[in-house]
Amino acid sequence: MKYYFRLQYKILNRRLKSLGIPPLWFYILSVPFFFFMSEFLFYKTTLAPYIYLFISFFALRSLIEESRLSFLRMIFNTSDYYRIRVLEVIFMGLPFLIFLLLKGEYWCAGGVFLASIIASFHRGVSLFIKTIPTPFGKYPFEFVIGFRQYILLIAFTYFTLLMGVKVGNYELALFSIAAQAFITVFFHNWVEPKDYVTIHSMTSLEFLKNKLEIALRQMGLLFIIPLFLVLTCFPSQWWISLILVCICYLYLATVITSKYAFYPSEFNLLQAILLGVSLFFPPLLVILLPYYLAKARKNLNSYLSS
């Protein structure tokens, strides 16, 4: 078990170095940075507890991927397996739990605690998601796979939507739409093999247009119910709701073009920073989208033929 954590430590160090981040500085600054960003979030919006809860669920979900857990079960005996699971969940969930308790958000802290217990003993998400029907079956693979992988988080967004409508909290209802858009971004963080790209007989522009049309259409399917409820229950703020939806579409398009701008490499540090900044400053997307689109077209020319 000690060897496993030493290996994870070495893997993390290598990833940090590949991103140009000195590991020592990362370990020194990560804790104060976490609490600074948490304070900033709670200062900026009254929805901070719900956003914080959503982020913690997202982080804990990364620990229950079936392929990862199957690997651990093959390597370790039962007692070591559960020790590793519990220690990983504590390491991932404890910072969120502590900060929520410090803020007096006991209900949300209880949600993190419950999610941590479930994550500790869950045997893997794909055990029950393989047969879940989706409205995206005609167009594999990102939304079909992503919807099934993140079904619990999507369900959480619908729960916050219903709670927002029930108590008349427009910001909470709007948060559910933004959260769904954020989840769909992670549908596209997997870099597919080159065969998945070269199999298409089309130009780079046609390929990108096809990808964007499918992704934006499928995001619209997720937005139908939330947007209908928000526009129906909060009609006076219709223009804010539509602006948010437009920003979500623009953000997803930027993420997809950014992915293929550097294909087949994974997202680099600069990409992550720029996309992260654009979450708080959406006008940046107007610059990033055409830049990544031009770069993606040029990059894909070596993989596609008309």
* pLDDT of 126: 47
What is the number of structural domains in the chain? Answer: 2
For 133, other C-beta atoms within 10 Å of its C-beta total 8
Same domain for 97 and 163, yes or no, is no
Whole-angstrom distance, CA of residue 203 vs CA of residue 207: 6
Same domain for 158 and 197, yes or no, is yes
* pLDDT of 306: 52
In a domain, 69, yes or no: yes
Contacts 24+ apart (CB under 8 A), 85-93: 85/119, 85/120, 85/121, 86/120, 87/5, 88/63, 89/60, 89/63, 89/116, 89/119, 89/120, 90/116, 92/59, 92/60, 92/62, 92/63, 92/116, 93/56, 93/59, 93/60, 93/119
Check residue 267 and report its DSSP letter.
Answer: P
Q: What are phi and psi of 13, to 5 degrees?
A: -60, -40
* pLDDT of 132: 62
Whole-angstrom distance, CA of residue 131 vs CA of residue 225: 22
In a domain, 136, yes or no: no
Measured in Å, how far apart are the chain's first and last C-alpha atoms? Answer: 52
List the pLDDT tens digit at each of the 306 positions of the chain: 777 888 888 888 887 777 677 888 888 888 888 888 888 878 777 778 877 887 887 788 777 777 778 778 888 888 888 888 888 888 888 888 888 898 888 888 888 888 888 878 776 544 444 556 666 666 657 777 777 777 878 888 888 888 888 888 888 888 888 888 888 888 887 778 788 888 878 888 888 998 898 888 888 888 888 888 898 989 888 888 899 999 999 999 999 999 898 888 877 767 777 888 888 888 999 999 999 999 999 988 888 765
Q: Tell me which of 131, 151, 172 is where a domain ends.
A: 131
* pLDDT of 138: 62
Q: Tell me which of 103, 131, 159 is where a domain ends.
A: 131
Same domain for 166 and 284, yes or no, is yes
Same domain for 110 and 153, yes or no, is no
Same domain for 215 and 285, yes or no, is yes
Q: Tell me which of 111, 131, 151 is where a domain ends.
A: 131
Same domain for 127 and 147, yes or no, is no
In a domain, 98, yes or no: yes
Torsion, Cα of 269, 271, 276, 278 (10° steps): 150
Whole-angstrom distance, CA of residue 169 vs CA of residue 157: 14
Same domain for 126 and 154, yes or no, is no
Closest CA to 230 of 246, 239, 241: 241
Same domain for 127 and 271, yes or no, is no
Looking up tokens 């790209």 gives 197
AA identity, residue 80: D
In DSSP notation, 96-123 reads HHHHHHHTT-HHHHHHHHHHHHHHHH--
Same domain for 37 and 110, yes or no, is yes
* pLDDT of 294: 92
* pLDDT of 128: 43
Domain that holds residue 294: 142-306
In a domain, 237, yes or no: yes
